[in-house]
Amino acid sequence: MLESKAQDINQPTSPPDSANLQEQLEESSRDFINSLGRVADFFGFNRLMGQLYAALFLSPEPLTLDDMVKRLDSSKGNVSINIRSLERWGLVRQIYKWADRKNYYEAETDIWTAISGILQERERRENSQILRSLTHSIEALEKVSAVASGQEAQVADFYLMRMEMLRKLLQFGDHLLEKMVKGGQVNFATARHSSKIVDANKNGFAEPEIEVLETEVE
Amino acid sequence: MLESKAQDINQPTSPPDSANLQEQLEESSRDFINSLGRVADFFGFNRLMGQLYAALFLSPEPLTLDDMVKRLDSSKGNVSINIRSLERWGLVRQIYKWADRKNYYEAETDIWTAISGILQERERRENSQILRSLTHSIEALEKVSAVASGQEAQVADFYLMRMEMLRKLLQFGDHLLEKMVKGGQVNFATARHSSKIVDANKNGFAEPEIEVLETEVE
DNA sequence: GCATTCGTTTAGAATTTTTTGAACGATGCG
DNA sequence: CGCATCGTTCAAAAAATTCTAAACGAATGC
């Protein structure tokens, strides 16, 4: 939007020029679609997914593949792929119309349902995998710690402490997710506090040499 | 992890074979680094950033650029760029050692501080921009709604309703962020509920014709 | 059966992101 | 000064992602 051409915007009381109003609506819609494109990008989806969702979200009625191709100036193949991706995420659903071979799509407009879906799916795909891998490492390290001595035991214990910190965090993430999805209260003060305690405890049991570790900062 | 080779794992009471222990430590460390690489990727950073953070997080003492180049098998330029990126995010800091020209780096190990930093920075960079753009559209639409009539007014109101839904969400996001950073309680039940109310209200006032709106697409 | 309309798939093109390697400036030291 | 060490920068390469256009198959109506 160019500032230099802002003149007509400064005349909000001008007669309801239909062409101009149409244009306003169109512009708002475009802005919105672009914004959601960026959001999607930002959250690790791709731009088109966000734009598609936005287009559907702003449409009072379901759209067909070709509608979206026109609206977003993309290719059919691309829209097809991305709309199905949105479906898998539970963000969009198909509508069947009687005696109409076309597929119609509409957005999941209950945003909390949409977000819950996203978060749960991501939890399933990523978070839990990482937790598993982390837990595996922690168990291995505990065995090492039990058997080893000296240097190695120290390293193992240090690794253990740090990995536990992350595990606590991931578990809190799960907790947060559950509350978000099912509704409930979350207390961040205690979450922060509990993670600090791990740090302090474990540090206490470290030997002198390790103590120096974080001191040399200053 | 292959099940077929699990034999030596089943002998936790074997003599503390130093080479083997070393290897265990090494493996845990590698796993951890890879995991954080994936996490970083997932959250819109890049893999190397996560790996660098992980390497520092698992190191009892600060590392130099070259240490990290070796550890992660990357190039100096790449590590240089990404470590500075981590610095800007407040996830890593430099340590100066007396009479040593090298730069040493250490991870911010208070994970909540780290996360707070990330979230706040992201809020600054993205969320607030989107909110601004959205607010701009909403204001424009309100003017249109006031002036327009019939078809156009209906479209404007529909857009308004939907955009308000998203704005509510973004505002809740801000709220959530603040509680996370400063510590406090968040109630998800009321958040969900309040977003639903918008939907219901506005829907009630839609006229039958509204269905036809974007029909001209055909 | 034949032509048409849809949606999906796919190979490769285009674009974006990440990585490398070499050049460079700055610093320290003999 | 001359040489060595460090970290940064940048152009080009490599890799990954996204997009297109055409081909295809399935369904529909004639």
Q: Could you tell me which residues come within 8 angstroms of residue B85 by beta carbon, excluding any fewer than 6 positions away?
A: B45, B49
In the prediction, which pLDDT does A214 show? 33
Q: Do A166 and B111 lie within an 8 Å CB cutoff?
A: yes
* β-pair partners for A71: none
* Residue B218's pLDDT band (cuts 50, 70, 90): very low
Residues 67-86 of B with CB under 8 A from A: none
SS3 A117: helix
In the prediction, which pLDDT does B89 show? 93
Per the CB < 8 A criterion, the answer to whether A78 and B168 are in contact is no
For the CA atoms of chain B, what is the radius of gyration? 27
Mean pLDDT confidence for B180-204: 76
Per the CB < 8 A criterion, the answer to whether B48 and B72 are in contact is yes
Lowest mean pLDDT among A104-118, A119-133, B45-59, B79-93: A119-133
Give the separation between CA A101 and CA A99, rounded to whole angstroms: 7
Mean pLDDT confidence for B36-56: 94
* Residue A124's pLDDT band (cuts 50, 70, 90): confident
- In this predicted structure, the answer to whether residue B164 has a pLDDT above a threshold of 50 is yes
Say which residue, A64 or B125, is predicted with more confidence. A64
pTM metric for this prediction: 0.82
Give the separation between CA A206 and CA A203, rounded to whole angstroms: 5
* Residue B198's pLDDT band (cuts 50, 70, 90): low
- In this predicted structure, the answer to whether residue A119 has a pLDDT above a threshold of 50 is yes
- In this predicted structure, the answer to whether residue A5 has a pLDDT above a threshold of 60 is no
Task: Tell me, yes or no, if B89 comes closer than 8 A to chain A by beta carbon.
Answer: no
Nucleotides of C under 7 A from a protein CB: 5-11, 17-22, 27-29
List the one residue out of B45, B72, B40, B38 whose CA is nearest residue B58: B72
In the prediction, which pLDDT does A159 show? 97
Say which residue, B180 or B194, is predicted with more confidence. B180
* Residue B44's pLDDT band (cuts 50, 70, 90): confident
Nearest CA in chain A to B154: A60
Task: Tell me, yes or no, if B215 comes closer than 8 A to chain A by beta carbon.
Answer: yes
- In this predicted structure, the answer to whether residue A200 has a pLDDT above a threshold of 80 is no
Footprint of strand C on the protein (CB under 7 A): A 64-66, 76-77, 80-81, 83-84, 101-103; B 46-48, 73-78, 81-82, 99, 101
- In this predicted structure, the answer to whether residue B97 has a pLDDT above a threshold of 60 is yes
Task: Tell me, yes or no, if B24 comes closer than 8 A to chain A by beta carbon.
Answer: yes
Mean pLDDT confidence for A73-88: 96
Mean pLDDT highest for which of A13-22, B116-125, B192-201?
B116-125
- In this predicted structure, the answer to whether residue B122 has a pLDDT above a threshold of 90 is no
Say which residue, A184 or B12, is predicted with more confidence. A184
CA distance B210 to chain A (A): 7
Mean pLDDT confidence for A88-101: 93
Give the separation between CA A174 and CA A176, rounded to whole angstroms: 5
Task: Tell me, yes or no, if B177 comes closer than 8 A to chain A by beta carbon.
Answer: no
In the prediction, which pLDDT does B201 show? 53
Give the separation between CA A30 and CA A8, rounded to whole angstroms: 19
In the prediction, which pLDDT does B47 show? 96
Nearest 5 degrees, angle CA B87-CA B89-CA B94? 20
Lowest mean pLDDT among A84-88, A112-116, A190-194: A190-194
Mean pLDDT confidence for A115-125: 88
